Each structure stands twice: as structure tokens, then as C-alpha cells.
Amino acid sequence: MYLHPATVVGIIDRLEVQGLVSRTRSRTDRRVVEIDLTPLGVTLVAEAPEVFQGVLLKGLGSLSMDTLREIAGGLDKLVTILGVQETPPVPIVLVEERTLAKAKGRRRG
């Protein structure tokens, strides 16, 4: 799915107004703006139903190993096409921990 940058900015603006995300300019690259969940955003995500994850897990669980290997191979090709082979995945737990740590630091300072 492609979203025009202006559309993304509008979405982020609305989330920020609702207190769900915060923006921080990168210290290493001024062109980059980091978007983090606020504690309220983390709470909302934690309370959100995991409908799609459950459906996906149930669906994948019903597939044969050969089919799962085919899917994994296709995903590997997609990663190569996107050129992100060297980009490590960030588990959602680490993202939430980083967000909470930043939020706690802002409250102190």
C-alpha cells in the first residue's frame, strides 16, 4: 500500500493532537522525524483487539511446512526487492519499551 507523504503527515498530525504519538527530530539526520507512541498510545495499542494477528496465526497454523517455506521464500524475495536485508526487525516489545523510556525521561525534565 502506498500513501502519499502529505497523507501520512495528516494522519500523524491527528494522532499527535489526540496525544497518541509524539514527533522527535533525529539527532543524526535532520531529514528524519521519529514517531513514537505516547504512553496513551501504548495503552490504546495494548487494549486493541488482536483480530488480524489471531486470524493470521490460525491461518498459518493450518498450512503445510512446504507452503510455509514457499511463503518464507516469497517474503525473503520481497525483503531483497525492498533492499532491507541488513535492516534488523525491531520487536514491538522493544519499540514499546523505548517509547515508555522516552516518555518517562520527558516527565522528569
Tell me the per-residue pLDDT of 12-30, one tens digit each, with 9 for 90 and over. 999 999 999 999 998 899 8
Asked if residue 83 lies in contact with residue 29, where contact means CB atoms within 8 angstroms, the answer is: no
| pTM score | 0.46
DSSP 47-91: HS--HHHHHHHHHHHTS-HHHHHHHHHHHHHHHHHHT-TTS----
Q: Report pLDDT digits (tens) over 48-93.
A: 776 777 788 888 889 999 999 999 999 999 999 999 888 877 665 5
Give the pLDDT band (50/70/90) at residue 41: very high
pLDDT at res. 55: 81
Q: Please give the pLDDT value at position 91.
A: 60
Going along the chain from its start, the domains and CATH numbers come out as 5-108 (1.10.10)
